[in-house]
Amino acid sequence: MKKYGLFFGLGILGLMIYSFITGSYNTMVTLDEGVLTQWSQVENQYQRRADLIPNIVSTVKGYATHEKTTLESVIEARSKATQTNVNIKDGKAIAAFQATQSELSSALSRLMVVVEKYPELKANQNFLELQAQLEGTENRIAVARKDYNLGVKKYNIYIRKFPKNMIANMFNFEKTTLFEAQKGASQVPSVEF
């Protein structure tokens, strides 16, 4: 009788350990997939911005024919930004992505400064609509990055807490990189539309 009690107790303990491991593993998978989905939203918003740029450049080109260098720098920065592939587990890849996006933001800022020289362009309805779409997209990018960082934080905390960190190590769940502000990002750019 004692033998059966011991086997029953070990069976219950084994079932509890199995349930804990599978529950933790499934939660890690769910959180990791959530982070990937949130990153996809970040990329979608950056792609939306990149898709607006040819229309903006085309509209500006019609008015600002003397600004060839500025227009080319925007086109080049857009090209670099859309070619960057990111592995969100790789901090260097995230940093490279951020650098190309920052370069594109700088080029767009320079373009908007050029627009100030052309009052007829600033009054163009098409340009005004594109400008409003760009502003909205920049806001969406900020929200998507914030949501991504919240998901990453939740995931990273979950996989680093004891005893779940042992399960994370056992199944190779790695910490994900946060989307961080670029150096100097706290400086407000002086761009006027």
In this predicted model, what pLDDT tens digit does every residue of 94-131 receive, in sequence order?
Answer: 888 999 999 999 999 888 888 888 888 878 888 889 88
- pLDDT value at position 127? 87
Q: Are 88 and 94 in contact (CB under 8 A)?
A: yes
pTM for the structure as a whole: 0.81
Residues of 16-49 as b/e, b for ≥16 C-beta within 10 angstroms? eeeeebeebbeebeebbebbeebbebbeebbebb
Mean pLDDT of all residues in 23-40:
96
The rounded mean pLDDT for the chain is 87
- Please check the confidence at residue 71 and state whether its pLDDT lies above 50: yes
CATH code of domain 20-170: 1.20.1440.20
- Parse the chain into domains and list their residue ranges: 20-170
- pLDDT value at position 182? 64
